Structure 1
Amino acid sequence: MTTTLPVSSPRRSRQAVLRHLRVHRAPALLGVGSLVASAAVSLVTAPLLGDIVDLAARGDTGPITRRALALAGAALVQALLAWIGLAAVARVGEQVLAGLREAFVEHALGLPLERIERGGSGDLISRVTEDVAMVSEAVRTAVPQFVQAALVIALTAVGLAVLDWRFLLAALVAVPVQVWTSRWYMRRSGPMYARTRTAGAAEQQQWLESLGGAPTVRAFGLADEHVELVRHRVDDSLNRTVGVVRLHMSFFSRLNLAEAMGLSTVLVTGFVLVREDLASVGTASAAALYFVNLFGPINRMLFLLDTLQSATASLARIVGVTEVPTDGTTSAVHASDVRPRDGEVVANGLRHAYVEGHDVLHGLDVTVPAGSTVALVGGSGGGKSTLAALLAGVRRPDHGRISIGGADLSGLDPATMRASVVLVTQEVHVFAGTLAADLRLAAPDADEQRLMDALTDVGADTWVGALPDGLETVVGEGGHELGPQQAQQLALARVLLTDPLVAILDEATAEAGSAGSRALETAAERVLAGRTGVLVAHRFSQAVLADLVLVMDGGRVVEQGRHDELVAAGGRYAGLWAAWSAGRTPA
Structure 2
Amino acid sequence: MSSTVQGTAGEDRSDYTREESKAIRRRSLKLLWSLLRPMRGQVILVGIVVVAQTALRVLGPALLGLGIKEALPAVLERSDWGPAWLIGGAYLVTAVGGASLLAWYDILAARVTQNVLLDLRTRVFRHTQLLSLEFHESYTSGRIISRQTSDLDTIRELLNGGLTQLVNGVLYGAFTFIALMIIDWQSGLVLVVAAVPLAFLMRWFYLASQRTYRDSRVISAKVIVKFVETMTGIRAGKAFRTEPRNEDEFGDLAMDYRDVNMRSIRLFGTFEPGLMAISAFSIGIVVLWGGVRLTWGEFSVGLLLSAVLYVRNFFTPLQEVAMFLNSFQAASAALEKVSGVLEEEPTVPDPTAPVALPDARGGIRFEDVTFAYGTGRVILPAFSLDIPAGQTVALVGTTGAGKSTLAKLVSRFYDPSKGRVTLDGVDLRDLHPRDLRRAIVMVTQEAYLFSGTVADNIALGRPDATFDEIVAAAKAVGADAFIQSLPDGYHTDVNKRGGRVSAGQRQLISFARAFLADPSVLILDEATASLDIPSERAIQDALQTLLADRTAIIIAHRLSTVAIADRVLVMEHGAVIEDDTPEALIAGTGKFAQLHAAWRESLV
The match for 1:564 among 579, 583, 587 is: 583
User: Is 1:309 matched with 2:329?
Assistant: yes
Q: Distance in 2 between matches of 1:473 and 1:221?
A: 33
* C-alpha deviation, 1:123, in angstroms: 4.8
Which residue of structure 1 aligns with residue 102 of structure 2?
82
Structure 1 position 318, deviation (Å): 1.5
Shift in Å, 1:552: 2.4
Provide closer, same or farther for how the CA distance between residues 150 and 561 of structure 1 changes in structure 2, counting only shifts above 3 A.
same
CA contact (8 A) 2:569 2:578 kept: yes
Correspondence for 2:363: 344
Q: Counterparts of 1:437 and 1:104 in 2: how far apart (Å)?
A: 25
Q: Which moved more, 1:334-343 or 1:81-90?
A: 334-343
Kept in 1, the 8 Å contact 2:393–2:552? The answer is: yes
Q: Residues 44 and 226 (structure 1 numbering): CA distance in 2 closer, same or farther, change over 3 Å? A: closer
> For residue 198 of structure 1, what is the aligned residue in structure 2?
218
5 Å-filtered alignment, 1:338-377, equals 341-354=360-373, 356=375, 358-377=377-396
The amino acid of 2:152's aligned partner reads: V
Q: Which residue number corresponds to residue 18 of structure 2?
A: none
* Matched letter for residue 549 of structure 1: V
Q: Is the 8 A contact 1:433 1:476 kept in 2?
A: yes
Deviations 1:478-524 (A, max 9, x none): 99755434443443444345433222121223225445545665555
Q: Identity of counterpart residues, as a percentage?
A: 32
Q: Give the AA of the match of 2:268.
A: H
Q: Which structure 2 segments of 5+ residues have no match?
A: 12-22
Q: Aligned letter for 1:174?
A: A
Q: 1:438 to 1:280 in 2, by over 3 A?
A: farther
| Residue matched to 1:381 | 400
1:33-48 alignment to 2 at 5 Å?
A: 33-48=48-63
- Report the more deviating stretch, 546-555 or 62-71: 62-71
Counterpart-to-counterpart distance in 1, 2:524 and 2:342: 31
Query: What displacement does 1:457 show?
Result: 4.1
1:307/1:481 CA distance change after superposition, 3 Å? farther
Are 2:555 and 1:540 aligned? no
SS of the equivalent of 1:422 reads strand
Within-5 A mapping of 1:192-341: 192-201=212-221, 239-272=259-292, 274-329=294-349, 332=352, 334-336=353-355, 341=360
Task: Flag the 1:99–1:65 CA change in 2: closer, same or farther, 3 A.
Answer: same
2-side partners of 1:562 and 1:501: how far apart? 22
**2:114 pairs with 1:99:** no
Task: Give 5+ residue unaligned stretches, structure 1.
Answer: none
Q: Tell me the SS of whatever aligns to 1:410.
A: coil
Task: Judge which range, 206-215 or 151-160, deviates more.
Answer: 206-215
Residues in 2 aligned to 1:167 and 1:454: alpha-carbon distance in whole angstroms:
85
1:249-298 superposed Cα distances (whole Å, 9 cap, x missing partner) = 22223222222233223434543555555554333323333333344422
Which AA in structure 2 matches 1:559?
A: E
CA change 1:475–1:161 in 2 (3 A) is farther
Cα distance in 2 between the residues matched to 1:69 and 1:453: 81
Counterpart position of 2:19:
none
1:86 deviates by 2.5
- Counterpart CA distance in 2 for 1:462 and 1:87 is 57
Question: Cα–Cα, structure 1 residues 409 and 284, in superposed 2: closer, same or farther, change >3 Å?
Answer: same
The 10-residue stretch of structure 1 (166-175 or 532-541) with the greater mean CA deviation from structure 2: 166-175
Distance 2:487 2:63 in 1: 68
Query: Offset of 1:532 from its aligned partner?
Result: 1.7
Q: Secondary structure at the match of 1:322?
A: helix
Q: Which amino acid aligns with 2:36?
A: L
- Tell me the C-alpha RMSD between the 2 structures: 4.0
* Cα distance, 1:431 vs structure 2: 3.2
Q: d(CA) in 2 for partners of 1:518 and 1:260?
A: 86
- Relative distance call for 1:141 and 1:493 in structure 2 (3 A) is farther
Q: Which amino acid in the other structure matches residue 112 of structure 2? A: V
- What do residues 202-245 of structure 1 show as CA deviations (whole Å, max 9, x unaligned)? 56667778898899999999999999977876665555444333
Residues 53 and 98 in structure 2, CA contact (< 8 A), matched pair in contact too: yes
Q: Deviations over 1:387-446 (max 9, x none)?
A: 211221112333332111111112234323322322222124333456666566533444
1:468 Cα deviation after fit = 6.6
8 Å CA contact retained: 1:422, 1:504: yes
1:11 Cα deviation from its structure 2 partner: 1.3
How far residue 305 of structure 1 moved from its aligned partner, in angstroms, is: 0.7
Distance in 2 separating the partners of 1:31 and 1:369: 65
Structure 1 residue 174, shift from structure 2 partner: 3.3
**Alpha-carbon separation, structure 2, partners of 1:371 and 1:455:** 22
Amino acid at match of 2:371: H
Q: Distance in 2 between matches of 1:222 and 1:91?
A: 46
- Residue 152 of structure 2, aligned match among 123, 132, 135: 132
Provide the rounded CA distance (Å) in 2 between the counterparts of 1:477 and 1:153. 54
Partner of 1:429: 448
Is the Cα–Cα contact under 8 Å of residues 173 and 261 in structure 1 kept in the other structure?
Answer: no
Q: What is the identity, as a one-letter code, of the residue corresponding to 1:96?
A: V
* Gap change, CA 1:66 and 1:509, over 3 Å in 2: farther
Matched residue, 2:41: 26
TM norm structure 1 = 0.84
Question: Structure 1 residue 101: deviation in Å?
Answer: 3.5
Work out whether residues 117 and 156 of structure 2, in 8 Å CA contact, stay in contact via their aligned partners in 1.
Answer: yes
- Give the Å deviation of 1:42: 2.0
Hey, what does 2:437 align to over in structure 1?
Answer: 418
Q: How does 1:137-148 map to 2 (within 5 A)?
A: 137-148=157-168
> Number of paired residues?
584
| Corresponding position of 1:157 | 177
Structure 1 residues 518, 175: CA separation in 2 closer, same or farther (over 3 Å shift)?
Answer: farther
Structure 1 residue 563: deviation in Å? 2.0
Are the structure 2 counterparts of residues 453 and 215 from structure 1 closer, same or farther at C-alpha, using a change threshold of 3 Å? closer
Kindly provide the amino acid, as one letter, of the partner of residue 527 in structure 2: A
Q: Distance in 1 between matches of 2:598 and 2:397?
A: 12
The answer to whether the 8 A contact 2:351-2:429 is kept is no
**Does the 8 Å contact 1:131/1:318 carry over to 2?**
yes
Distance verdict in 2 for CA 1:48–1:103, change over 3 Å? same
Shifted more, 193-202 versus 251-260: the winner is 193-202
Match of 1:403?
422
AA partner of residue 244 (structure 1): S
